[in-house]
Structure 1
């Protein structure tokens, strides 16, 4: 999950040039419309539909085929063909494949992919599909449907969410005389624990300047301090606001004051936690499937509230219906039946380290009974913030990580690093507006 998102972000940025060319020849966003999708299961002639997804690691490659096999066995008139590949490869292949009429009938994309694909004309508008399937925003965590929208129209249906949590090495806490049952929930209690750990010669939280997981921690802190990454219409960067500076200063202070070592390598913080060198790590729900945790005594809790508001970063994935040249409406209708069935049967998806998006599935008490480590993540969803949705946003987001790395390595002050990144990001946002017609 973690390295997959990073590869996806890089590849999506590289693919923008291809997509921009296609956007001009693929018609308006959403193309020819969603076609006829009945509210009940697809009852037309037998069709074979292709499903692209980026689940190539962890438990997902095992679970997805099992779910598809079960779906196929229950639907004589629909055959779903699973085509897993790297997220980044999907971003690169999708524009040309859809233009040639050889793209998937249904795919899964992350929240920061949807608007780009929609602006390129690659997706069918999903408003009619959402209505036909009986979905509304209330069926999913607050704000999640918005992550699959573009210019007021819906292009994605939520599938999963992956918020951050605070992973705790209980043995390390005990070695410093800290009761593991007392989990820090705010800045005062968190800093007190870090100070005690420091007194025992332990750097309690290792802060890194990479997407995983420094960027996600920074974004959580920006929201906690009452700020945001961009303005409402995503035409200007705001991550260099007072809130952004407070967020990044908190992280640099952890290094400067000895609570974190300097120059933590990519994934060094989670490795430090697993090797009992540090006590706390802000990381995603996907780590609950990390078998290395079996080697330590650990717990997980919601991330502490360092700022004035509760907030936490979360990624999301969404179902998308593709606007292939000559797209067959029966296949789109069959794909809609597949999506509804998958959401209704998504309880086992927690096994992959992702939370089902559907409220009725996720809130079933049996889910926590089966996967008790998910409770802190479920508890944090009411104040989760999802990826910014705007065409080409991944290129601007990459500059946030650049600023983070520059500040945490002492090359620039938090303010200077964020200001420089914001200037460059604003230029990208302006270019995106011109390219995509926003």
Structure 2
């Protein structure tokens, strides 16, 4: 589901220095509103809540308005007005709109954008909201709730998660006499070698964000490494684990398991055209209608390293700190968030997993969307975005390193060292821009 990252070029950094005071939203009605309870009730005056989101076009054209309409029908004192727009447009418009007091009352952001907004005081402190709604980290997959925490304050409520998985063309795999989907390095290499023996390059590896960067990040974590140090002041993706991860990917080309210079989307197209057996790709591909009629399966990504790990993105609800923000609207927006999470089972049709454990544990989810099982199994060890202001600019250096190494322009070590040097400069600039 590339639309979730298509705005990266535009929204990699929100460089506006804005002076908005962060304030909390009380959960017990002490701020003039009717209050928010764990039952998700709002008892204040009638309000219209503005909701900005980036699911436009083919992303989710039906379910968003359907859910909003259903919510509005069930709540006499709250009317939610959804304002869909491109993710890049949100990144460009929302900071200025919030400063002018014209931003939304609630919005959805990706995990790697949260700290950038929080550092600029563009979001309300949501500690009181989260407490009032009864949410804790235990209500969501391990690790994702904390991505909404910046500098000791909770600014967000998780909405969805999108882990990477292994897509398998079973017909191509059968050409090599293989019926069992590989689960670890040994079985994966054995499958690639068997496929090579029958003239099939089993995994087409690329140097793009989709899906090379996500594969690399999964691998570096599997080999025991980290992308950055603990306080995100230094890139560490050029570590021994990082080099091992990138070498694994370049060796796929070197050993003939992958063609060189795979074009963007070339790997998923090759899988669909019966030219390859494996593709590391996101859960969003489960909704790809091109799979109709293909003999395929999804599985957890194989454990190549010593640890189980897999990349995942996430989206989160946030409450903008508009100049003169109406506290009643914020409280009503919190009720909307709770209702949406509670009623998010159908969100799986967009190719995203609902973040709420209570929804994913509903048997109806897998009965309706059985292909989600392997992705749900991965959530116990999924890894999410780095929390740091302006981090997407530093992350972009990883993709450049992959492109250099996979094209043979640089060795994995050299490519990652050069990327680290640039990333460290960006991190230093971010500290000056957003505060240390």
**TM-score normalised by the chain length of structure 1:** 0.96
Could you list the per-position Cα deviations for residues 37-67 of structure 1 after superposition, in whole angstroms to 9, with x for gaps in the alignment?
4214111111111111111143522100000
The CA distance in 2 between the partners of 1:304 and 1:375, in whole Å, is 15
**Structural mapping, 1:178-327, within 5 Å:** 178-179=178-179, 182-327=180-325
1:397 to 386, 395, 407: 395
Q: Which residue of 2 aligns with 1:91?
A: 91
Shift of 1:277: 0.7
Shift of 1:360: 0.9
Is 2:112–2:388's contact at 8 Å kept on the other side of the alignment? yes
Q: Which residue of 2 aligns with 1:32?
A: 23
Shift of 1:121: 1.1
**Structural mapping, 1:402-417, within 5 Å:** 402-417=400-415
Could you list the per-position Cα deviations for residues 87-128 of structure 1 after superposition, in whole angstroms to 9, with x for gaps in the alignment?
111111111110111111000001101000101111001000
The CA distance in 2 between the partners of 1:136 and 1:207, in whole Å, is 38
Q: Secondary structure at the match of 1:112?
A: helix
Q: Which residue of 2 aligns with 1:5?
A: 4
Q: Secondary structure at the match of 2:61?
A: helix
The CA distance in 2 between the partners of 1:303 and 1:368, in whole Å, is 19
Number of equivalenced pairs:
427
Q: Secondary structure at the match of 1:404?
A: helix
Is 1:58–1:352's contact at 8 Å kept on the other side of the alignment? no
Is 1:115–1:391's contact at 8 Å kept on the other side of the alignment? yes
Q: Which residue of 2 aligns with 1:115?
A: 115
Is 1:6–1:211's contact at 8 Å kept on the other side of the alignment? no
Could you list the per-position Cα deviations for residues 282-339 of structure 1 after superposition, in whole angstroms to 9, with x for gaps in the alignment?
0000000000000311000000000000000000000000100110001000000000
Q: Which residue of 1 aligns with 2:357?
A: 359
Structure 2 unaligned regions, length at least 5 = none
Q: Secondary structure at the match of 1:162?
A: strand
Shift of 1:33: 2.4
Shift of 1:434: 1.4
Is 2:14–2:95's contact at 8 Å kept on the other side of the alignment? no
The CA distance in 2 between the partners of 1:214 and 1:244, in whole Å, is 14
Q: Which residue of 2 aligns with 1:162?
A: 162
Is 2:54–2:87's contact at 8 Å kept on the other side of the alignment? yes
Q: Secondary structure at the match of 1:82?
A: strand
Shift of 1:436: 1.1
Is 2:341–2:356's contact at 8 Å kept on the other side of the alignment? yes
The CA distance in 2 between the partners of 1:403 and 1:115, in whole Å, is 25
**Structural mapping, 1:145-156, within 5 Å:** 145-156=145-156
The CA distance in 1 between the partners of 2:357 and 2:24, in whole Å, is 28
Is 1:112–1:388's contact at 8 Å kept on the other side of the alignment? yes
Q: Secondary structure at the match of 1:125?
A: coil
The CA distance in 2 between the partners of 1:349 and 1:321, in whole Å, is 21
Could you list the per-position Cα deviations for residues 164-195 of structure 1 after superposition, in whole angstroms to 9, with x for gaps in the alignment?
0100001111222222xx01000000000000
Q: Secondary structure at the match of 2:5?
A: helix
Consecutive aligned runs of 4 or more in structure 1 exceeding 3 Å deviation: none
Could you list the per-position Cα deviations for residues 353-381 of structure 1 after superposition, in whole angstroms to 9, with x for gaps in the alignment?
10010011111222111111000000000
Shift of 1:16: 2.8
Q: Which residue of 2 aligns with 1:106?
A: 106
1:428 to 415, 426, 429: 426
The CA distance in 2 between the partners of 1:85 and 1:172, in whole Å, is 40
Structure 1 unaligned regions, length at least 5 = none
Q: Do residues 142 (structure 1) and 136 (structure 2) align?
A: no
Shift of 1:26: 2.2
Q: Secondary structure at the match of 2:402?
A: helix
Shift of 1:201: 0.6
